[in-house]
Amino acid sequence: MMMMERQIAVLSAFFYFIASCAAYPIIFEAVHNDRTCMDINIPDGDDAHLVFIPLPEDVSSEVEDWFVTEMAELTRPESIQFLKEISRIPGNIANKMKEHKTRSKISLVIEEDGSTPVIKNQVLNYFKPSFSKNIAKAGRGWNENRGNYRICVNARGAGDVRILFDAIKLSEYQDKRNKKHLVKKEHLTPMEIAFEESASLAKTVVDEMFYMEKRESRMKKTADGTNARIRYFSYISIATLLGVTWIQIQYLKGYFKKKKVL
């Protein structure tokens, strides 16, 4: 329970950081036959759209990278895919997706204030984006002073599930849209343009660092698991070899006694 609360707190803090800049989506894992939750907060008078894309736990890094890029396009207001569908899946990605035969029943629940009433309850499908729009207004008895929400994912079936998740605050989206219409290039000095480009590049670097840190942690977990299996296999092989050797010695001793050699 303490580990689950720590995970919720880390994910909540990470959500606040993500909300402050244009970032890569959050990647969190839902253990099969278990309930994984995350708390988010929407400021007073604001609202948000949520986007989810579930992936199998054993999905290849190439497929995951492609869906991470697509998620970035789905949540970028300037993109033509904004809150729509993913682009056409390339052939090599589609072939790797077919390799995953496992199926899990993934249910998404969005609760207000971490309890009832339930704002949304739906089933998610692998590799298919799911949108939850205006979750604040979707709550019963909504008012601008209630902004705590809990997102829970239940995975039942063959294996664990990896969820790509991102949130779009309406205030930030409106600010970007208004800025696009009000501010033009000719109104900015070269220094201001360079500063904005530097800030955008810095955000990209930070996003890459957090994403690679997550990837490195997951790869370390995979490597540790592989090393453990190899170690156990070595123990079993040694035990089998010793057992076969003992059986051969007993057989030869019996054979020589029978022949009266010993």
Of 180, 211, 237, the domain-final residue: 180
pLDDT higher at 158 or 33: 33
- Considering its fold, how many domains does the chain have in total? 2
Query: Does 86 share its domain with 114?
Result: yes
Residues 6+ apart with CB under 8 A from 87: 70, 73, 81
What pTM value is reported for the model?
0.56
Three-class HEC string of 70-137: HHHHHCCCCCCCCCCCCCCCCHHHHHHHHCCCCCEEEEEEEEECCEEEEEEEEEECCCCCEEECCHHH
Query: Does 175 share its domain with 240?
Result: no
Query: Does 109 share its domain with 209?
Result: no
Range of the domain at 195: 183-262
Write the pLDDT tens digit of every residue in 67-91.
988 988 888 887 888 888 888 888 8
Query: Does 28 share its domain with 129?
Result: yes
Query: Does 191 share its domain with 74?
Result: no
pLDDT at 2 (0 to 100): 39
Strand-pairing partners, residue 50, are 132, 167
Domain containing residue 10: CATH number: 2.60.120
Residue 33 reports pLDDT greater than 50 = yes
Cα–Cα dist 258/3, whole Å = 64
Check whether the bond before 190 is cis (ω within 30° of 0): no
Least confident window among 22-36, 51-65, 196-210? 22-36
Query: Does 7 share its domain with 131?
Result: yes
